[in-house]
Amino acid sequence: MAETPVVLHEHQFIKLKSVLARTCVECAARVVLLVDRDGHPIAFHGDIADLDTTSFSSLAAGNVAATTSMAKLIGENVFPAVVHEGERESIFISVIGRSLLVVVFDERSTLSLVKIRTKKASYEVASILEEIARDSETQRQSETSFFSEITDDDIDSLFS
Amino acid sequence: MTFINYASREINCKIVYYGPGLCGKTTNLQHIYDSTAPQAKGKLISLATETDRTLFFDFMPLELGTVRGFKTRFHLYTVPGQVYYDASRKLILKGVDGVVFVADSQEERMDANLESLYNLEENLQSQGYDLLNIPYVLQLNKRDLPNVVPTDELASELLRKGEPVFEATASQGVGVFDTLKAVAKQVLSELRKG
């Protein structure tokens, strides 16, 4: 494997969801998402309606990857936040290590409020993500990994 | 990198289609999209130029089924093939779990294939990966055209490590799913190894 797989357990998922739920209320946001920088959606909270969270996550990750490269071209290491302001809906993306906290908000909130309220959430999310990274590494080294029991037949059955 | 979510019981993997400009990477994805049941796929997103050349990437999520109670979701990406979009190619390789190299079988595209393959090896290295150690499949595309290089000759030029090789005509869907299956199997086998 190129890198250690990230393994998210249920109790960690619940902790992340609870931070997202609180952040969504505090920011008066429409929806708050946590996305891996490779584009995998991790968790979300709020009014999803018909929002395609998978595509949205992939594009958010691509967006941050592009702006990070632009930052490097002008001598910055990274842009810690990316903002897109629309007529009605806006997006605020905060970069937290390997993950992105994405807040979608409308005229019921303001950019400054979202910036302030996501700061505390970012620290909490970062701490949970560190725990997930540690546990993922431990699980990788464990010979009793659940996935080591996958058989050739299991894989073949996907394509039958 | 693979993302395993025990709460939603999902395994998410990233597969990237690489190759020279106009070799048929987007056509591979388009065929997979057109041939897959609606419930197994998400939207096909294309970040393309006005002339439909991939500018940043194409993306589609695909759910293959369940392994031991876990849904397997593959995120399929293409890169822009044109030489001058190298910065975009590097970004898309980040976190990759498996690569498909789509070669253009036409004689006049041999140099472009070699250049793109070299570029893949270089860009993987810059992201900390080694082509020899990641799931990888070679697809020889456009086999329906009259001026193609014989398969043996093409493979001997492009093979890197005894990877699976598939002849394809992506525009007609030939070899597209065989290629996808081969790389997906390798990715899941790697997961088993830990």
Residue A93 in domain: yes
ipTM rounded to 2 decimals: 0.86
Locate the chain A residue with the closest alpha carbon to B63: A158
Averaged pLDDT, A19-47: 96
Cβ atoms within 10 Å of B86's Cβ, excluding its own = 14
Q: Which residue of B has its CA nearest to A13?
A: B7
Question: Within a domain: residue A114?
Answer: yes
DSSP designation for B44: -
Q: What is the pLDDT of residue B159?
A: 97
> What is the identity of the amino acid at B13?
C
> Residue B48's pLDDT is what?
87
Instruction: Please give the torsion angle defined by the CA atoms of residues B77, B83, B88 and B94, in that order, rounded to the nearest 10 degrees.
Output: 60
Residue A59 lies in a domain: yes
What was the pLDDT predicted at B98?
Answer: 97
A5 lies in a domain? no
- pLDDT score recorded for residue B194: 64
Domain presence at residue A68: yes
pLDDT in tens, B139-173: 999 999 999 999 999 999 999 999 999 999 999 99
CB contact under 8 A, A6 and B193: no
Domain with A32 in it:
10-146
CATH number of the domain bearing residue A112: 3.30.450.30
Q: What is the mean pLDDT of chain B?
A: 94
Distance from CA of A8 to the nearest CA of B (A): 5
Is A67 a domain residue?
yes
User: Could you tell me if residue A99 is inside a domain?
Assistant: yes
pLDDT reported for residue A1: 46
Q: How far apart are CA B14 and CA B74, in angstroms?
A: 6
Q: What are phi and psi of A95, to 5 degrees?
A: -85, 120
pLDDT in tens, A55-70: 999 999 999 999 999 9
pLDDT on residue B133: 95
Q: At B91, list the tokens.
A: 């970004």
Integer Cα distance of A104 and A29 in angstroms: 6
CB of B192 within 8 Å of a chain A CB? The answer is yes
Q: Which chain B residue lies closest to A142 (C-alpha atoms)?
A: B194
Q: Does the pLDDT value for residue A2 go beyond 60?
A: no
Q: Indicate yes or no: CB of B7 within 8 angstroms of CB of A13.
A: yes
| 8-state DSSP, B20 | S
Q: Quick one: how many helices (H) and strands (E) in chain B?
A: 5, 8
**Count of domains in chain A?**
1
- Comparing A63 with B54, the larger pLDDT belongs to A63
Cβ contact B3–A13 (<8 Å): no
Return the H-helix or E-strand segment holding B99: strand B98-104
Residue A26: pLDDT over 80: yes
Q: Is residue A2 part of a domain?
A: no
- How far is B57 from B87, CA to CA, in rounded Å? 12
